[in-house]
């Protein structure tokens, strides 16, 4: 061990009781190291000689340990009882919709912290029941999710408070991603422009698992698409997309499925009751819009409702010849208040 200025010992460790204050769930174990370009997220400068570097255990980190800020923590209904999970997400989703009285500047760092964590460790977690406001880290989206990442929300929420075009989670030409046990809440901004404001956008990616992801207040809940090129080029499609036990509410289009093959969507609840939030009628809303190049896909155990000015399941082929769609199975579907 080597002593440095101010009595710090390189190689020793220190345990904190919180990030901003004791008990805020941000406590972590740090190693004192010789100073070497601290990044301000996983490592912090102490003085001119040394820095604190967080010790990552089991390749997993909680975003609170990196300084992510929470707006609120809710405890009821109890998310630990999976039988009440729908009530939990529904209660907290509705409680955090629309315009929260938040200072967006105070949360500008949350998206950067989450994205840095996803690129550093295998699994990123959150404080159960907490609401984490985020803004766009990039021009039109908040967080780029890399290959191999796991997001386990522990039934927390990401609340997107950007006032312009955005996608909350972008999975762009990636593979082996797991997103589970999390709620995503959008805003009412730009609601008439269906090209923007998506909760999750998946582009030319494979082996993507969405499990118990609940989505509220977006133009589009989930969208799959190819990156570019010919509609019949399956190397550009999304493959192995597995969506299960998810809820999508108060959207114009719940699931916009394009360029998706060899995938399964099951136990999905979608309510396209956009007028409940924006107070207007007449938007062309669909629960599921199945577009071009969909092959070897199963849609099972669906509840589709409230597409008053659209369709529960709209199937639309590409306008330029055969897009090679086929072998689409739809079973056990319940429909309410749709055309």
- Per residue in 218-237, pLDDT (tens digit) is 888 999 999 877 767 888 89
Q: Which of 216, 214, 169, 213 is nearest to 188 (CA)?
A: 216
Contact (CB, 8 A) for 211 and 245: yes
Higher-confidence residue: 202 or 163?
202
Long-range pairs of 194-197 with CB within 8 A, sequence gap ≥ 24:
194/219, 194/220, 194/252, 194/253, 195/165, 196/140, 196/165, 196/166, 196/167, 197/165, 197/166, 197/167
pLDDT band at 165 (very low <50, low <70, confident <90, very high): confident
Q: Which of 183, 181, 179, 169 is nearest to 95 (CA)?
A: 183
Higher-confidence residue: 311 or 319?
311
pLDDT band at 86 (very low <50, low <70, confident <90, very high): low
- In the predicted model, what is the mean pLDDT of the chain? 83
pLDDT confidence of residue 181: 94
Question: What does the DSSP 8-state code read for residue 5?
Answer: G
Is the predicted pLDDT of residue 266 greater than 50, yes or no? yes
Is the predicted pLDDT of residue 144 greater than 90, yes or no? yes
pLDDT confidence of residue 117: 96
pLDDT band at 101 (very low <50, low <70, confident <90, very high): very low
Long-range pairs of 7-12 with CB within 8 A, sequence gap ≥ 24:
8/32, 8/46, 8/47, 8/49, 8/50, 10/34, 10/50
Cβ neighbours of residue 169 closer than 8 Å, sequence gap 6 or more: 141, 142, 143, 145, 151, 179, 184, 199, 200, 201
The mean-pLDDT minimum among 6-10, 80-84, 229-233 falls in 80-84
pLDDT confidence of residue 279: 47
Contact (CB, 8 A) for 229 and 218: no
Higher-confidence residue: 94 or 314?
314
Q: What is the pTM of this model?
A: 0.89
């Amino acid at each position: 061990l080597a002593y440095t200025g101010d009595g710090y010992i390189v190689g020793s460790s220190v345990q904190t009781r919180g990030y901003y204050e004791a008990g805020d769930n941000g406590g972590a174990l740090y190693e004192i190291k010789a100073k070497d370009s601290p990044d301000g997220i996983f490592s912090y400068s102490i003085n001119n000689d040394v820095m604190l570097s967080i010790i990552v255990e089991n390749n997993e980190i909680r975003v609170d340990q990196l300084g992510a800020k929470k707006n609120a923590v809710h405890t009821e209904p109890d998310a630990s009882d999976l039988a009440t999970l729908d009530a939990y997400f529904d209660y907290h989703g509705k409680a955090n919709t629309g315009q929260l009285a938040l200072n967006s500047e105070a949360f500008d760092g949350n998206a950067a912290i989450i994205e840095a964590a996803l690129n550093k460790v295998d699994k990123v977690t959150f404080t159960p029941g907490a609401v984490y406001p985020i803004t766009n880290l990039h021009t039109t989206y908040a967080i780029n999710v890399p290959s191999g990442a796991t997001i386990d929300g522990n039934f927390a929420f990401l609340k997107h408070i950007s006032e312009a075009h955005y996608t909350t989670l972008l999975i762009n030409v990636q593979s082996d991603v797991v997103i589970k046990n999390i709620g995503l809440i959008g805003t009412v901004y730009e609601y008439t422009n269906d090209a923007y404001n998506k909760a999750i956008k998946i582009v030319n990616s494979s082996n993507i698992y969405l499990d118990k992801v609940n989505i509220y207040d977006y133009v589009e809940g989930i969208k799959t698409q190819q990156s570019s090129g010919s509609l019949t080029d399956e190397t550009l499609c999304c493959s192995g997309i597995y969506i299960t036990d998810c809820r999508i509410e108060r959207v114009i289009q719940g699931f916009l499925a394009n360029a998706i093959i060899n995938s399964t969507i099951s136990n999905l609840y979608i309510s396209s009751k956009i007028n409940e939030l924006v107070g207007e009628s007449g938007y062309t809303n669909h629960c599921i819009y199945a577009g071009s190049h969909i092959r070897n896909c199963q849609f099972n155990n669906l509840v589709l409702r409230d597409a008053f000015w659209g369709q529960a399941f709209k199937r639309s082929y590409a306008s330029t010849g055969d897009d090679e769609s086929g072998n689409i199975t739809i079973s056990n579907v319940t429909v309410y208040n749709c055309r």
